[in-house]
Structure 1
Amino acid sequence: MKLLDVVGRLSEFDEEDTIYVSEPWTRDSDAMVATAPDDSMVPPKAAAKAGLTYFIEIFIAIEVIEGWVASQKEKPSLPAICDRLIYYATYDA
């Protein structure tokens, strides 16, 4: 699954789960959603084995996107939403 796919399906995931993504983070980066171990910055074995690193928790991603979309005059495209989430995870998280 690609990060763009995950972002397009955020509402389908458990809000307590975490997104793990291969670096560098782009829309086309490989991604997975999984339940984080006790230390949410450490990826579960399946994510680590796939070379994925912590990106952001689902509930935070939803909050960031909802807030950003609400501030826009027109609804942004899915690629624009994904880019905004990457920016947030990179610089603001």
Structure 2
Amino acid sequence: MAKLLDLIAKIDQMDREDVIFVKPEWRPDSEASVFQLTEDYRVPEEARALGYEYFLEVDTIQQILEEFRSRPDASLNERCERIIHYATYDA
């Protein structure tokens, strides 16, 4: 079982078309998994059946993390909290 924080740490190793799905509540330690949307851009049934909710596309997360290039000392937890904030309020 992966945590959201673990997946964020490995985000650059993922395919840009991958999508992260997270079980509610969205926190750095929430259970998370990676899936791809269906051909018609829907949530895969497997993700839904396992209780995951759409979170963000890997490509979007990578773009958000660009903000931290000027703050290399930012912790992984800070980065994860920023991504959660974006997913909650801006996506």
Do they fold alike, i.e. is TM over 0.5?
yes
CA contact (8 A) 1:13 1:58 kept: yes
Give every structure 1 segment of 4 or more consecutive aligned residues whose post-TM-superposition deviation is greater than 6 Å: none
Q: Report the 3-state secondary structure (helix = DSSP H, G, I; strand = E; otherwise coil) of the residue aligned with 1:20.
A: strand
Instruction: Give the structure 2 partner of residue 52 of structure 1.
Output: 52
Instruction: Give the structure 2 partner of residue 70 of structure 1.
Output: 69
CA contact (8 A) 1:43 1:52 kept: no
Give identity over the alignment, percent.
Answer: 38
CA contact (8 A) 1:20 1:43 kept: no
Question: How many pairs were matched up?
Answer: 90
CA-based RMSD of the aligned residues comes to 1.4
Q: State TM-score, norm by structure 2.
A: 0.89
User: Where do 5+ consecutive residues of structure 2 fail to align?
Assistant: none
Per-residue Cα deviation, 1:46-72 (whole angstroms, up to 9, x for no partner): 211210010000001000111x20343
Q: How does 1:7-46 map to 2 (within 5 A)?
A: 7-40=8-41, 42-46=42-46
Q: State TM-score, norm by structure 1.
A: 0.88
